[in-house]
Amino acid sequence: MQVNNKVIVVTGGGNGIGRELVLLLLTKGARVAAVDINPAALQETEALACSHSERLSIHRVDITNREAVSALPQQVIAAHGAVDGLINNAGIIQPFVRVKDLDYTVIHRVFNVNFFGTIHMTKEFLPYLLERPEAHIVNVSSMGGFLPVPGQTIYGASKAAVKLFTEGLYSELLNTRVRVTVVFPGAVGTNIAAHSGVTISSPALTEEQRSRIKPLAPAHAAQIIVEGMERDRYHVMVGSDARLMDLFCRLSPQRAAKTIFKQMQSLLPD
């Protein structure tokens, strides 16, 4: 689905990849409803939109709150007249600790934002999308959704759930005009730890480790995601690390798991 003249809803639109998605969609001629829990961040996104801001609406919504999400489609339609696309981008990580040391409140919060937030948004907007001549849903999973990352096991499980939910949704909607895409970002240079309320206090990475980890710029990630949306891709890998590890996991999943453990073990407390 080409995004020009379409109305696209983007969650997590106040920062990182979400903000860059909002700005890119606006430059490509879309009308955008940016959704975020942080009103100040949304206002910053609005300021950055500059001359395109007349095609942007901002919505302070907690996507874990089903009642708040249920009111959002009508708010978007009131602002833009319709809704043609949904990009479920909002997500948080967990503290870098093992499952045995992770509090249940954190576990539930990660799943509520990453998985149930995606379900809430999809369920509420899908009836409206099905009425459109063409429409598209993009759900952002993670490289951690197919590759086990020590210290991010619950985060990975929530993103794996997003993956299979999206793939099932794709199959359910094959005989409709709604296309569905699942996205797997690798390392992207966002401040997701701070936005997740996570402090990383483990030892600094070595120079050798730093040389292996080259985060993609959020704007570049946004370009890849929108391109995948416009080409109706089933899976979109964002970054060379995501592409490489996807292949590695398919060829030798156990070796891939051991490799990522060696790369990430310094982030785990003893």
Active site residues: 155
3-state secondary structure 196-210: CCCCCCCCCCCHHHH
Asked whether the beta carbons of 239 and 188 are under 8 A apart, the reply is yes
d(CA 57, CA 44): 13
* Cα–Cα separations (whole angstroms), residue 24 to 58, 89, 178, 221, 268: 16, 14, 22, 11, 36
* Cα–Cα separations (whole angstroms), residue 29 to 8, 56, 83, 194: 11, 11, 14, 31
Gyration radius (Cα) of the chain, Å: 18
CA nearest to 92, candidates 138, 23, 142, 148: 142
